[in-house]
A = this chain, B = another copy of it.
Amino acid sequence: MHFKKRNANCGELRKENTNKEVILNGWVQTVRDMGGLIFIDLRDRWGLTQLVIEPETNPELAAKSKELKSEYVIWAEGKVRERENPNSKMPTGLIEVLLKDFEIINKSELPPFEIIDDLDTNEESRLKYRFLDLRRPTLQGNFDIRNKLYQVTHQYFAKHNFYEVETPILMKSTPEGARDFLVPSRINKGKFYALPQSPQLYKQILMISGFERYVQIAKCFRDEDLRSDRQPEFTQIDVEMSFANADEVLELTEGFFKMLWKDVLNMDIQTPFLRMTYEEAMMRFGSDKPDLRFGLELSDITKHLQGTDFKVFSDTIESKGIISCLNAKACASYSRKNIDDLTELAKKYGAKGLAWIKFADGKVNSPISKFLTEEEISNILKETGAENGDLLLIVSDKKYKALTVLGALRLEIARREKILEQVKNQFSFSWVVDFPLLEFDEEDNRFVALHHPFTSPLEQDLNLFYEKPEIARANAYDIVVNGAELGGGSIRIHQREIQEQMFKLLGLSKEEQISKFGYFLDALKYGAPPHGGIALGLDRIVMTLCGTENIRDVIAFPKTTSGLSLMDGCPSQVEKKQLNELGLRLLKED
């Protein structure tokens, strides 16, 4: 295909380039025939440049331009000149290119939607025609940011002496936690590989192998029923260090985010980040990923209700639950309907109900005031810092359930009161540390690891780990920005005995330990160094940098929430021959 190759791009020409002879390659955005002049906006990755044809001086070119339509690919040759009507909104808005010649390189049918940002096309159509959707400036911008994130990652970790190592995608299935995607083996019929949920064990083995510092931008897979912000495959920046303690991992990570925010957003973020224990985050914000850009803190009012006659509260106190209160500042004017909505939300999160106290015009108004003494109410107002016009929302339940409900209400109030809107350009980084190591799963009657089974207990909780594992804390940390978890990690167990004890607590028999994790327990026998690391959610970080809540806006070819790729129609049926080769058949359809 012969065509004149560009010597400039559509984003770079300025007033200083006046009189320069240029050749541009790109896509026709629009053609406007103004009678006296014909304007063509030409687009490439770098921007948009206005081309102009003067029919009076170049009638053939003007005639030829009648052929041009949106999304045609052309080369265009001409001379840069200053515009008569500059457009200050466009970087190239002070100039235009007076065309000498152009040719069509490739034509385009009429696209199903226009290549502009303010698009109300439904997402289904956008995903089907992803090749066109990706041309939109917003998406191009998102992938520019995503690219910068990769580059910062490469540079930062190389500078800190990390080795980039690839770990396998075809690995062993060890069903713990989420569901594995399986890959049938043809050579070894009846056997399966699994796609990694994370390279956790491989990176720990690399530490045991003496690599000391490992980084990988790793593809990970989880066969979950998808939520709107999940994808079956996602990417994490996977990091592991030997002979490191938690402080070093945190400091390294902070440096990474500092460089990233500077390079991408030109923002200076303060390090070190605030560190908050899980306990504090739950008690104050009702969340293990608190959004610290605004207040609306919770208060523990249990102590003020020790002697209460109100049965809901006294029952909670008796069963060692908590009575916690969110002061919804300046919300005393909420209507009955508003409060009913909040109550619904509280129930959705598992609350049995929602109590409230309005404090307005110096007076208290509450359906539960008749059950409380004046002193109790006065203490509650004092404890929560209630002022005239505030609305107090109270949940009494098992501790973490009550706190979680109030955490959800806190975010809802922030949304309703447009607080999130006000803080949307701020970034508040923090670490949440000292998570519980284990949770007891009532249903399965066994412990499950809150992070994963390779997380070390805190040094000072090692005895608890053996004696009262349910209250031992993990040497684990999550990084949280604006209420979203961007990643998490831990110092790992590097002693075989502790790892075996952990597996035991999780209900794995000796045999299961060996069949599932035998090689790893083996590896721990031969001089495993102390080590720890972190995994950062790359897609989520790009979303944060781009300010989008839609994960599909930062992944080039995403799947829908039903795991479909609407562009190429996968997953799809395969030929019987392929299944035969794999030694498989489909179960009868129900």
Interface residue ranges, A against B (CB under 8 Å) = 1-3, 5-6, 25, 27, 43-45, 71-73, 105-109, 111, 129-132, 134-135, 140, 143-144, 146-147, 150-151, 154-155, 158, 163-173, 175, 179-195, 201-202, 205-206, 208-213, 219, 221, 223, 225-226, 232-233, 235, 242-243, 245, 459, 494-495, 519-520, 522-523, 525-530, 555-557, 559, 562-565, 567-575, 578, 580-587, 589
Q: Which residues of B contact A219 (CB under 8 A)?
A: 166, 169, 219
Q: Which residues of B contact A192 (CB under 8 A)?
A: 571-574
Q: Are A528's CB and B106's CB within 8 A?
A: yes
Q: Are B569's CB and A519's CB within 8 A?
A: yes
Q: Are B586's CB and A495's CB within 8 A?
A: no
Interface of A: prevailing SS? loop
Q: Are B529's CB and A105's CB within 8 A?
A: yes
Question: What 8 pairs between A and B have smallest CB-CB spacing?
Answer: A108-B527, A134-B209, A172-B570, A191-B571, A71-B527, A185-B571, A154-B154, A172-B568
Give bound CA distance, A6 to B213, whole Å. Answer: 14
Q: Are A188's CB and B571's CB within 8 A?
A: yes
Q: Are A106's CB and B529's CB within 8 A?
A: yes
Q: Which residues of B contact A5 (CB under 8 A)?
A: 243, 245
Q: Are A183's CB and B182's CB within 8 A?
A: yes
Closest to A491 in B: B1
Q: What are 15 A-B pairs at a CB distance below 8 A?
A: A72-B527, A73-B527, A106-B494, A109-B525, A147-B163, A154-B155, A167-B557, A171-B570, A172-B565, A182-B183, A183-B183, A187-B562, A194-B570, A519-B568, A519-B569
Q: Are A584's CB and B583's CB within 8 A?
A: no
Q: Which residues of B contact A181 (CB under 8 A)?
A: 170, 183
Q: Which residues of B contact A559 (CB under 8 A)?
A: 168, 170
Given contacts A167-B557, A182-B578, A186-B223, 7 further A-B contacts (CB under 8 A): A131-B526, A134-B206, A135-B209, A147-B165, A170-B233, A179-B578, A201-B568
Q: Which residues of B contact A27 (CB under 8 A)?
A: 210, 527, 529
Q: Which residues of B contact A459 (CB under 8 A)?
A: 1-2
Give bound CA distance, A525 to B211, whole Å. Answer: 49
Q: Are A71's CB and B191's CB within 8 A?
A: no
Give bound CA distance, A179 to B582, whole Å. Answer: 11
Q: Which residues of B contact A567 (CB under 8 A)?
A: 205, 519
User: Can you tell how many copies of this chain the complex includes?
Assistant: 2
Partner of A144, one of B163, B195, B527, B574: B163
Q: Are B184's CB and A182's CB within 8 A?
A: yes
Q: Which residues of B contact A194 (CB under 8 A)?
A: 570, 574
Partner of A212, one of B45, B175, B182, B212: B45
Q: Which residues of B contact A195 (CB under 8 A)?
A: 169, 183
Give bound CA distance, A574 to B179, whole Å. Answer: 12
Q: Which residues of B contact A150 (CB under 8 A)?
A: 154, 164
Q: Which residues of B contact A225 (CB under 8 A)?
A: 187
Q: Are B182's CB and A582's CB within 8 A?
A: yes
CB distance from A260 to the nearest CB of B (A): 15
Q: Which residues of B contact A574 (CB under 8 A)?
A: 173, 175, 182, 192, 194
Q: Are B575's CB and A580's CB within 8 A?
A: no
Give bound CA distance, A50 to B367, whole Å. Answer: 78
CB distance from A46 to the nearest CB of B (A): 8
Q: Are B190's CB and A525's CB within 8 A?
A: no
Give bound CA distance, A195 to B170, whole Å. Answer: 10
Give bound CA distance, A494 to B2, whole Å. Answer: 13
Q: Are B530's CB and A105's CB within 8 A?
A: yes
The verdict on A1 contacting B188 (CB below 8 Å), with A25-B529, A232-B170 known, is no
Give bound CA distance, A548 to B470, whole Å. Answer: 51
Partner of A179, one of B173, B186, B235, B555: B186
The verdict on A578 contacting B175 (CB below 8 Å), with A106-B528, A165-B147 known, is yes
Q: Which residues of B contact A525 (CB under 8 A)?
A: 108-109
Q: Are B166's CB and A235's CB within 8 A?
A: yes
CB distance from A169 to the nearest CB of B (A): 6
Closest to A1 in B: B530
Q: Are A526's CB and B151's CB within 8 A?
A: no
Q: Which residues of B contact A168 (CB under 8 A)?
A: 233, 557, 559, 565
